[in-house]
Amino acid sequence: MTPFSYQRPERIDQAIALAGPDSRYIAGGTNLLDLMKEDVLRPRRLIDINGLPLRDIEQTPGNGLMIGALVSNAELAWHPQVAQRYPLLAKAILAGASPQLRNMASTGGNLLQRTRCHYFYDTATPCNKRTPGAGCAAREGRNRIHAILGASAACVAVHPSDMCVALAALEAQVHVKGPHGRRRIAMADFHRLPGERPEQDNNLTEGELIVAVELPGEGFACHYAYLKLRDRASYAFALVSVAAALELDGEVIRQARIALGGVAHKPWRVEAAEALLHGKRVGQDCFAAAADRLLEGAQPLADNAFKIELARRAIVRALSEAAEGSIR
Ligand code: SF4
């Protein structure tokens, strides 16, 4: 591991003032420390943010929730307001990692976790995300877990988070603070597709710190589903996941949200697919049409063509479960 300095500020402005090109903020460290031990990341300065006042969950004036960036994944999933009003989010969080990791991992850190592409972690192989311009070993290598949507010649990695898939469906907002002030980023705009700059996972600028995640008032608590398909039943990343949320008037769909995980470099949402459902009576035909629209343009790699049909079926199943409406 490359030597680094360590600082633990007590104020947000102090933390931001310490940030620079070779620094990293650290909270739970559940991904960052692995990356440092494997020599994938070599920050010169760690800024421990665990002393900052970012651990509250508060009601917003719009009847939503403001979740401090240091709230752990476990605290968030089991918080009474989240469990009752945003069960889609609670279920997605509990589908991820292990209880030990969820106790350590923070809300802000979950948004910043890196891809689990094998080659990204293997410093003996070329990887544009780790070393820009080096090449992409996954394109012609083992790519069963990789992207079918939104990939580029430079990178075919997928975003690994479950929580972010639910946050995308719920249209959460990410509050950040940096050297140039405070701003809000819509969840849809927080993560990036790889394009020619796969080393950039998100649209944060240098020194910006996630301070909170805001949930809007509508939590779709009556009709939701989070379906995660993976190689083993727990402690595995999604091959495909689906966050589905419906607002129904009897059997007529008033509003639909669908976000996919495990298929792209960011949670995948297509508003035109959701619009196909608006005003329709719930049923397999309209769910299948929405699935086809969501997966339009999907391009398989050598090992992952199965993901397209898997995703299609998962979307229809998740929407069917959401329409049935139950607390699972
Ligand atoms: Fe690196 Fe992306 Fe290629 Fe994986 S898919 S080897 S992360 S460039």
Give the CATH number, domain containing residue 293. Answer: 3.30.390.50
Residue 1: pLDDT band (50, 70, 90) is confident
For residue 198, the number of C-alpha atoms closer than 13 Å in the C-beta half-sphere is 29
Could you tell me what percent of the chain has a pLDDT over 70?
99
Query: Which residues are within 8 A (CB) of 138 and not within 5 positions of it... i.e. 6 or more apart?
Result: 117, 118, 119, 127, 146, 155, 156, 157, 301
Res 327 pLDDT > 50: no
pLDDT, tens digit, for every residue of 5-62?
999 999 999 999 999 999 999 999 999 999 999 999 999 999 999 999 999 999 999 9
Q: Tell me, yes or no, whether 279 lies in a domain.
A: yes
Determine the residue of 114, 129, 145, 199 to mutate for testing ligand 1's pocket, defined as the one with the most ligand atoms within 8 A of the Cβ atom: 129
| Ligand 1 atom with minimal separation from the 126 CA | 6
- Token code pair at residue 255: 């509003």
Q: Tell me, yes or no, whether 146 lies in a domain.
A: no
Question: Which domain does 30 fall in, by range?
Answer: 5-47
| Ligand 1 atom with minimal separation from the 135 CA | 8
SS (H, E, C) the chain: CCCCEEECCCCHHHHHHHCCCCEEEECCCCCHHHHHHCCCCCCCEEEECCCCCCCCEEECCCCCEEEECCCEHHHHHHCHHHHHHCHHHHHHHHCCCCHHHHHHCEHHHHHHCCCCCHHHHCCCCCECCCCCCCCECCCCCCCCCCCCCCCCCCCCCCCCCCHHHHHHHHCCEEEEEECCEEEEEEHHHHECCCCCCCCCCECCCCCCEEEEEEECCCCCCCCEEEEEECCCCCCCCCCEEEEEEEEEECCEEEEEEEEEECCCCCCECCHHHHHCCCCCECCHHHHHHHHHHHCCCCCCCCCCCHHHHHHHHHHHHHHHHHHHCCCC
Q: Tell me, yes or no, whether 294 lies in a domain.
A: yes
pLDDT, tens digit, for every residue of 266-277?
999 999 999 999
Q: Tell me, yes or no, whether 181 lies in a domain.
A: no
Report CA-CA distances (Å) from 319 to 25, 49, 215, 248, 313: 38, 39, 22, 12, 10
Q: Tell me, yes or no, whether 210 lies in a domain.
A: no
How far apart, in whole angstroms, are the C-alpha atoms of residue 242 and residue 280?
Answer: 20
What is the per-residue pLDDT for 123?
Answer: 97
| Ligand 1 atom with minimal separation from the 147 CA | 5
Residue 303: pLDDT band (50, 70, 90) is very high
Query: What's the structural domain count of the chain?
Result: 2
pLDDT, tens digit, for every residue of 138-174?
999 999 999 999 999 999 999 999 999 999 999 999 9
Which amino acid makes up residue 54? L
How far apart, in whole angstroms, are the C-alpha atoms of residue 80 and residue 73?
Answer: 14
- Token code pair at residue 189: 């705009």
Q: Tell me, yes or no, whether 93 lies in a domain.
A: no
How far apart, in whole angstroms, are the C-alpha atoms of residue 301 and residue 53?
Answer: 45
Give the CATH number, domain containing residue 24. Answer: 3.30.43.10
Res 326 pLDDT > 60: no
Q: Tell me, yes or no, whether 254 lies in a domain.
A: yes
How far apart, in whole angstroms, are the C-alpha atoms of residue 323 and residue 251?
Answer: 8
How far apart, in whole angstroms, are the C-alpha atoms of residue 245 and residue 218?
Answer: 10
Ligand 1: list residues with CB < 6 Å: 115, 117, 119-120, 127-129, 136-138, 155-157, 198
Matching residue, tokens 């298929």: 263
Q: Tell me, yes or no, whether 201 lies in a domain.
A: no
Instruction: Please tell me the distance between residue 5's alpha carbon and the centre of ligand 1 in angstroms.
Output: 29
